[in-house]
Chain A
Amino acid sequence: MSDPLKYVGQPIARVDGPAKVTGKARFTVDVQPPGTLVCRILRSPHPHARILGIDISAAQKLPGVKAVVTADDTLKIKHGFVETPRYPADQYPLAVGVVRHVGEEIAAVAAVDEHTAEAALKLIKVEYEILPAVFDPEEAMKADAPEVHPSHPKVTEPFRNIAGKTETGWGDVDQGLAESDYVRTDRFESHLRTHGYLEPQATVASWEDGKLNVWTSSMGPFIKRKKLAQTLGLPLSAVRVHKSYVGGAFGGKIDLFSHEFCAALLSMKTGRPVKVVVSREEIFAAYRHGQPLIVELTTGVKKDGSIVAQRIRTINNCGAYKGSGVVVIFLSWGFAMATYRIPNMAYEGFAVYTNNTVRCPQRGHGAPQMRFAIESQMDMIAEEIGLDPVAIRLVNARLPDEQLPNGDNVHNCGLVECIEKAAERINLRERYGSSRNKAAEGGSLRRGVGIGVSAYFGGSLIYPNSSSVIVKLNDDGSLIILTGSLDIGQGAETILTQIVAEELQVPISQISIMAADTETTPVDIGVWISGNAYVTGNAAREAAMAVRHKILEIAAQELETETCQLVLSEKAVSVTGAPERRMSYAEIYEASVRSRRGDPIIGEGHWRTMRDVPTHPSLATAKGRWTENYAFDAQAAEVEVDIETGKARLVRAVTAHDCGFPINPLNVDGQIDGQVSMALGHAFLEEVMMENGRTLNPSWLEYRMPTIGEMALSESIDVITESYVVGQPYRTKEVGEGYVSAILAAIANALYDAVGVRLYTTPFTPERILKALKEKAQADSGNA
């Protein structure tokens, strides 16, 4: 029996907490080098227009204006969320010739203050030729629709505006459906939501002596460095992205944003630091949001509920450029196949250009939309064939060590246990169906329960594909971690510190962490694709292990014993059974420098997922391995509906999750609560309301994110399937994205359980619920 873990797995308080609560943490907006200019950006008022001319002369003459840039001042190099041979970069940082969505960036000014910068924007004259625009993806696919961009050359269907297509499958779906005992087809639609990160996007750029220094609100400095260098025509070495704390991102800060490019270009033009802080309104009305998906789903099952075949067609309203729209149609296939065994599958997904703002990942990146569809339909099927929602899921749920169609393996998959535990906690088997349409006390409130399941990948291959960490021993025995990872509020710095603390038995308070600087810290994959805890975490463990080896070697040599006789504790090494034979790390450091020609004990560690897999899977065919780590979860919801007003709310959420093991249970619970709140916003409240490409509610007030008043009771149940052993690689799974999905489906199912109506479109507004209730009443009375 190995020693119990002291740091990993413990509810350790956040290492960035004190800096944040005392206001010392430096966010980008706090970076203010002397002489900083203010940048503001001119945006398109039109959803689709040709730019006939831009006259910046009056703006340039305005006193206090230091520079004005348009596409003509740029190298006209494109960038994109995806940059592959099939999906090359497609977006200019400043519009060239055409604007394709309201808010698209046309010009930028740098001025001495905000008032001057704003006045300058008003002086820029742009002549437009308005072009016809299209906003609905199915409209945009029609042969006579306005063309946002030509369809992808490899797409053979006669559709317009196809940005990309994913097509994959196995088995014979037609035959599978023919052999099924029960088949149904449904169509689900999800709506446009946004991330709601509290810190608005902000960038400071400072061009000094041939080097571009950048502070920016991001999700990883290395990808920003790459895209800035690329679009500005600079070598990577000429761009340094410094660390700033980040106030939340949820997927919304990965891509290169025009404001980052403009701040950099304007600093290069003026030779002065340039700062841009994007307004909340710009973020709502011009920035990247999540992806509204249409999912058409045909499923055939046997009498026992086992899935025989599934045909899925998704249509993604992907906005004016590819963004991550072509990725979501691939991912949503992955979110369809990972949870249940599907012997025959045919999947096609279309990303369709429209004159809406560009899309980017948003926590779950297609999973909430896909799970909402699949799990809703699962309950409908169960009801038709007379199974309960738990039974039908248990029949289909993947078991440990199953091989997935893409070559991945689910390893220690805990899905069955998750389903059992979530159902049991909310007493689903007994309650489901028992109170449908019954008021507790004769009032207008109805309650119901429901369940959903989901799976989510952790870490995948995407630039820069790997993470490295350096751990340095100080001469007083304390440690320094150098990591390119970035704490965006999710606790990255804390868990890396815990891992290093565990491997080396150094108290958390004795470890400092230097993070997220492209020049002083090693490369990191970035805190997205749910990879930090696994990829960077293993790199940190490897680095600590390298230090551990050196410490043990020196100690063995000095204490004249074997390394296997030594134990580490409290910044010291001692001989097993002879605690008086002991060396502190400070003494070991001194001995190492003395006896190893100055070696101060530095360890480095590297990690890359799926070491034998050359690259990420194909977005077009879904061929190729995707990940080593699937997290699984089952979530149960209790929902209350007021049948008179149609208002519904989430009362209680239960999350039974297999996240491998929780490196920090506090962080895990925080992530779960955050996802429950995000999902209930998705279900009931949040919607970017748009009309012809313009946003009607670009404010916190009207976007209606949940507040504490809407938050539901959130409970979590750990299903531990992996373990952490000091000195060994671990395979933990993700917790940051996977739990926004099953709970959304569970809410939809609980709503049905409460009042007997099925909603196929999110959000579940009072209007929609009342309408469905009315239709049901009419149908019921027709049947009576």
Chain B
Amino acid sequence: MHLPRFTYVRPGSRDEAAGLLDTFGKAAVLVAGGTDLFPRMKYRISTPEYLVSLSGVTRFLPALDEDGALRIDALMSLGDLSRSPIVRTHAPLVSQAATCVASGQIRNAATLGGNLCLECRCLYYNQSHTFQFVEPCFKLGGDLCYFAPKGNRCWAIFASDVAPALLSLDTVICVTGGPGKQRRFPVAELYTGDALSPLTLLPSEIITEIIVPSAFGTGRHSFRKFSRRKGYEFAGLSVAVALQVADDGRTCRDARIAVGSVAGGPVRAAAAEAGLPGQDLSNSETVRSAAATAAQEIRPIAHHGYQAAHLRHCLEVEVLRALTEAAGPAPLADV
């Protein structure tokens, strides 16, 4: 398979890139590592006239703010993220999640920003539609769904591994829409939850960096990815847990449980989280009931050969495992 024809532009700054996106409008798509976009272009499910590349933009190294928050360039590669000592110390969950993505080669090309802005996935959609599933489904602008023919919505899956990690860390997203058009917001606000249009970004907005606050960043945590193979595979589901624990080392002060690959965006298990503050994390009943609650409130969508009931079962298992792991003795920051 080969790429369709397009015009390639390589601006020198993010603001300039935002400007070009604005100028070209719908005809342009932003590209960072291209590991998500190029396969879609080969399938002709994305056929931009212009590719605005971020490969000419100067990147900065991750650094700590005065308040201890970690700032990471959205252009940082997932490979660098998984190796970076400062990230492994101050946001180990992020580097763990990044390490779970795809394969070594892909991680070296893939960027953090691209990972947060992945297109949703569905077996019927991620194909070239030359002789199979030729009629466009909702996601391709048509008016049918192959996955759930009776429904009238899209059930594609947002499968980023890093997004749930960031969600569990109360991460802040910084974007630019061109000179003077910067804004920042909590990562939860990046996602609509609607697979047809999963991101809240304006068409010309670019994620420039992320800020991981220190509160959760260095706290207890666990990241678990459930998939059939060890690598080179999107998650059946992924679970990120971040805990703040009182000085006694066992009482929960605050908890985040975020789950990926179960819906059109990363989701939090809010009810399960809410039950944890004040509880003794070393009590196995506490974590068991939190996991059960998570499996009650989140209803995974069947996808990529996984049945919904099975995912739901595994969600409970993985949340329990993640909570148990996170609640265990404080992890060494850099393992």
Contacts and interface: CB of A to CB of B under 8 A. Distances in A.
Contacts of A285: 127, 131-132
A704 B232 CA distance: 9
Interface in A253-301: 279-281, 285-286
Interface in A588-647: 644-647
A702 B306 CA distance: 12
A687 B305 contact: yes
B150 interface: no
Nearest to A691: B146
A644 B4 CA distance: 45
Contact of B228 (A43, A114, A685): A685
B45 interface: no
Contact of B307 (A279, A701, A767): A767
Nearest to A103: B131
B123 A689 contact: yes
Interface in B296-310: 304-307, 310
B310 A766 contact: yes
A770 interface: yes
A326 B229 CA distance: 34
A441 B101 CA distance: 30
B314 interface: yes
Contacts of A181: none
Contact of A767 (B103, B233, B310): B310
A114 B128 contact: no
Given A645-B226, A687-B305, A689-B123, A281 B1 contact: yes
B132 A698 contact: yes
A770 B123 CA distance: 24
Contacts of B128: 279, 281
B1 A645 contact: no
A45 B229 contact: no
A697 B313 CA distance: 24
Contact of B123 (A102, A697, A709): A697
Contact of A701 (B5, B233, B310, B317): B233
B2 interface: yes
Contacts of A704: 228-229, 233
Interface string B283-323: 00000000000000000000011110010011001100000
Contact of A696 (B124, B131, B134, B313): B124
Given A644-B317, A645-B226, A697-B305, A286 B232 contact: no
A696 B310 contact: no
A193 B233 CA distance: 18
A706 interface: yes
Nearest to B146: A691
Contacts of A279: 1, 128
A45 B305 contact: no
A685 B229 contact: yes
A102 B131 contact: yes
B24 interface: no
Interface string A103-118: 1000000000011000
A709 B132 contact: no
B96 to A, nearest CB: 17
Interface residues of A, number: 40
Interface in B221-247: 226, 228-234
Given A281-B128, A285-B131, A770-B313, A115 B5 contact: yes
Interface in A684-720: 684-685, 687, 689, 694-702, 704, 706-707, 709-710
B130 interface: yes
Interface string B115-159: 000000001101110111110000000000000000000000000
A279 B317 CA distance: 39
B185 to A, nearest CB: 32
A44 interface: yes
B75 to A, nearest CB: 24
B123 A702 contact: yes
Contact of A45 (B1, B132, B228, B230): B132
A696 B127 CA distance: 8
A459 to B, nearest CB: 36
B316 to A, nearest CB: 9
B136 to A, nearest CB: 13
Interface string A30-44: 000000000000111
Nearest to B133: A694
A729 B307 CA distance: 56
A670 B234 CA distance: 30
Interface in B40-80: none
A685 B134 CA distance: 28
Contacts of A647: 228
B229 A706 contact: yes
Interface string A646-683: 11000000000000000000000000000000000000
Contacts of B103: 707
Nearest to A106: B131
A546 interface: no
Contact of B229 (A42, A646, A709, A766): A709
B82 to A, nearest CB: 16
Nearest to A763: B228
B304 A702 contact: yes
Contacts of A568: none
B175 to A, nearest CB: 29
A698 B310 contact: no
A710 B233 CA distance: 12
B317 A102 contact: no
B134 A45 contact: yes
A674 to B, nearest CB: 18
A286 B233 contact: no
Contacts of B2: 114
A121 interface: yes
B132 A645 contact: no
A286 B131 contact: yes
A737 B1 CA distance: 31
Nearest to B123: A696
A706 B231 CA distance: 9
Interface in A35-87: 42-45
Contacts of B4: 115
Given A115-B5, A689-B123, A702-B304, A694 B231 contact: no
Contacts of A696: 123-124, 305
Contacts of B226: 645
Contacts of B229: 685, 704, 706-707, 709-710
A709 B317 contact: no
Nearest to B226: A645
A285 B124 CA distance: 13
Contacts of A700: 232
- Interface-central residue, A644, A689, A696, by most chain B CB under 10 Å: A696
B161 to A, nearest CB: 14
B230 A709 contact: yes
A430 to B, nearest CB: 31
B155 to A, nearest CB: 14
A701 B42 CA distance: 15
Contacts of A689: 123, 305
A43 B230 contact: no
Contacts of A44: 131
Interface in A741-784: 765-767, 770
Given A280-B1, A281-B127, A696-B124, 12 more contacts: A44-B131, A102-B131, A285-B127, A645-B314, A645-B318, A695-B132, A696-B123, A698-B127, A701-B232, A702-B305, A709-B229, A710-B229
10 shortest interchain CB distances as A-B pairs:
A709-B230, A43-B131, A696-B123, A767-B310, A644-B317, A45-B131, A694-B132, A279-B1, A45-B134, A709-B231
Interface of B: 1-2, 4-5, 103, 123-124, 126-128, 130-134, 226, 228-234, 304-307, 310, 313-314, 317-318
24 contacts: A103-B131, A103-B132, A115-B4, A279-B128, A280-B1, A281-B1, A281-B128, A285-B131, A285-B132, A645-B226, A645-B314, A645-B318, A685-B228, A694-B132, A695-B132, A699-B126, A701-B232, A701-B234, A702-B126, A704-B228, A706-B229, A709-B230, A710-B229, A766-B228
